[in-house]
Amino acid sequence: MLQIWGGGFYLFNKIFFALAEDKEPDTKRRYKISGWIIYLLGVPAWVIILVSKHDWIAAAIEAGGVPAMLLGLLTVYQNRTSPHKGFDRLTALFTYAALILGVGYSIYDFGGLTSFSQLLEIGVMIGFLAGSYLLAKNNRCGWLFFMLMNISMGTLMLLQHKPILAAQQGLSLGFVTYGIVKAFKETSPIV
């Protein structure tokens, strides 16, 4: 049930984000608001799944990424081209704290960086943090980091016998690829 909940909400997040790329501003805004909200609703399932498998880095990033999701939601809701500076700084601080705690506890629990799953979690971490942060700031390069995140998480879920989540990551990768193509077809420079 957790796989369907977390995976489904995550997949719909990517669908809404990808479809938003080639829409008119009002429709694009509605799709992005829906995408941010849907992702937030799926976070509890992901955290439960990851903690149950001792995926401390990925669990910390999912939980620690909530402020970045709220930053993205607030930025789009307020129809701003860049996020509020104070909230942006607070988001970065909270995200870095979650990162330090997750990596630190993983190193403690495993006795160092000793497993392939930890390396995959680092790929998830980099992809999620950079992707979420850049998309929250309306920077389309965030899609490239989401690719890294999807590939790393999909591989991790396959190794941990979570076929529904592995398949969902593959589907999400398809929508991320669609989002990249649409985002980079725009004529405006990368910001």
Predicted pLDDT of residue 182: 84
What are the C-alpha distances in Å from 128 to residues 91, 150, 184, 188?
A: 14, 9, 20, 24
Q: How far apart are CA 83 and CA 19, in angstroms?
A: 22
pTM: 0.76
Q: Crossing angle for the helix pair 163-185 and 2-20, nearest 10 degrees?
A: 10
Taking only the tens of pLDDT, the chain with its 191 residues reads 998 999 899 889 889 988 888 889 899 999 999 999 999 999 999 999 999 999 998 898 888 888 888 888 888 888 877 777 888 888 888 878 887 888 888 899 989 989 999 999 999 988 987 887 787 777 888 899 999 999 999 999 999 999 999 999 999 999 889 888 888 886 555 54
**Look-up: residue for tokens 């701003």?**
80
Query: What are the start-end ranges of the H helices in the chain?
Result: 2-20, 25-52, 56-64, 66-77, 85-110, 116-136, 142-159, 163-185
Q: Crossing angle for the helix pair 116-136 and 66-77, nearest 10 degrees?
A: 20
Q: How far apart are CA 154 and CA 78, in angstroms?
A: 33
Domain-by-domain residue ranges, the chain? 2-184
